[in-house]
Amino acid sequence: MTASCTSKTKPADSTLPTNAGAGETGLSSAAGNGTANSEELSENILVNQVGYKIDDKKIAIIKGFDKKFKVIETATGKAVLSKDTTGKVNDESSGDTVSYADFSELKTVGSYYISVEGLGKSYDFKIGDGNLFSKVNEAMVKALYYQRCGMALDSKYAGEYAHASCHTGRARLYGNEETEIDVSGGWHDAGDYGRYVVPAAVTAADLMLAYEFYPQSFENKYNIPESTNNIPDILDEVKYGLTWMLKMQDKQTGGVYHKVTSRNFPDLTAMPDTDVDELLVMPVSTTATADFAAVTAMASRIFKDFDPSFSQQCRIASLKAWNWLETNKDFVQYKNPQDVTSGEYGDSSGKDEKAWAAAELLRATGDKKYNDYFKANYGTEGFGLGWQNVSGFAAISYLFSDQSAIDSKKAEEIKKAWLEKADMFVSTAEKDGYLLAMHKMEYTWGSNMNVANHAIHLLIADKLSNNEKYTETAANCVHYFLGRNTMNQSYITGYGSKKVMQPHHRPSVGDGVAEPVPGLLVGGPDSALEDDVSRSKLSGKAPAQCYIDDMNSYSSNEVATYWNSAAIFVFSFMSSR
């Protein structure tokens, strides 16, 4: 299994003409207004378009080689810093030659831009405290509320993105058409309306880990229906997703159905409440059952003090799923039938999923049998944190378990390998022109998930072995997301000056609102060019440049809950300090 492979198998959706009215260039005119400087905006001066924390490293990246730069105060047009650039780095992933404008010594709160004589100016950015990133983080969590299925999104909470309830009818069990099941709820997985257990488990796990490691980042309320129940809103969102997953467990056997979708993707303009195609529950799979066992065991621990009844319900369901895994030792693979073309989320092995389940059940119960299974079946290759390889989640669970319950030699072996991979990420970032822990081969479908998951790995490494190099390299991933990249593009809807305006996301296309649903992380550059728009517009581009803000480019501009959740973990770190 390949951690960097994140695409769902899916055909092209019905195409629409580009919506120029949503912003032909995506450029903000605000960058040049209200200042005493009339310089032209340059696409070659790249900054985090939201900003930088006061005491953090602050670096802008300049395409080409320029020897001097200035930091200009936006309000006055006055230069507050003038320095030489450093470096002349040839970046393999983008094909760019870049230099660095390091203005870390500037610690005055305010709004600024970078100026390079003869080249122009950057977008504005702020210098401030952790609130710069907490607002983005909150928006990314709230975006999961907008992805909720099975309930009306009331304007009290959803504002102009409100819509009526959707997908509330009973679904037919595929292959057993007489059986209908209530599987309402959960999240719309991506730009479509399918609900899939495997990626939903990853989404929930990311969110619970973010809360577990950085609880101080989730003290605010996000204006969701559960905001008054004295449970952190991020955990309310997790509970909404898991309540649906509990419905996907077969009550007799404990096995978990793989997904519920219609046979085909609806039209790109379809709003959730207008999608009335027949819903089908697809058969039980090993991966869905093992991921379910893992994430419900995790929830039994996380919710113990907040919602004891739900905690116990999750514990019972997890044990029942594990019993199914013990009874069905042969791998039960899921593949789409010929008449179903919605996302497959298939896999060729369930080894990593079962190891994750064992690790989480060990941490939740302390039962020695799970430790025995884990030791016998877990290797240290990969440490994946995506839906196709969950071995990294297994490692995190084992390493942070009660030390009296685990094998110290096994834990030390895992820790050593984890830190070695973290060091590799640091080394990769040091050689990369954009200071990013990404190899050129990793710009695949959902490359932004790869960026976020590398950052998660680094942040866990910092928890295991306090090292500023790890946190600095993780922070560079956030700068990348918010515009410090070869595209000069913020990849998060609603944030940055050049922000995504046309995500492949049906509610954003069909709701008639000019701005897309905010807080959604798009997939990012995909060098395989896996849709018609990418193939026609991006052929011959370097891997990191294989992105286009076009609603029909599902391989570069779709969204997914498990991309958001990975980024939420990283942003929660940035807003916690």
Q: In angstroms, what CA-CA distances link 544 with 138, 397, 444, 487?
A: 27, 33, 9, 8
The first and second tokens of residue 89, run together, are 């780095």
Q: Which residues are known to be catalytic? A: 549, 558
Shortest CA distance to 258 belongs to which of 316, 342, 177? Answer: 342
The first and second tokens of residue 439, run together, are 């190899």
Q: Which residues are 286's β-sheet partners?
A: none
Find out whether 465 and 426 touch, Cβ atoms under 8 Å.
Answer: no
The whole-angstrom separation of Cα 14 and Cα 354 is 38
The strand pair at 176-181 and 171-173 is best described as antiparallel
The whole-angstrom separation of Cα 427 and Cα 417 is 15
The first and second tokens of residue 461, run together, are 């490494």
The H-or-E segment that residue 509 falls in is helix 506-510
CA 338, distance to chain mean position in Å, is 30
The first and second tokens of residue 20, run together, are 């120029």
Which residue is listed with tokens 């305006």?
501
CA 36, distance to chain mean position in Å, is 39
The H-or-E segment that residue 364 falls in is helix 351-365
Shortest CA distance to 531 belongs to which of 14, 24, 22? Answer: 14
Find out whether 249 and 201 touch, Cβ atoms under 8 Å.
Answer: no
Which residue is listed with tokens 């105060």?
73
The whole-angstrom separation of Cα 560 and Cα 19 is 21
- Cα torsion 300, 306, 307, 312 to 10°: value is 20
DSSP type of residue 375: H
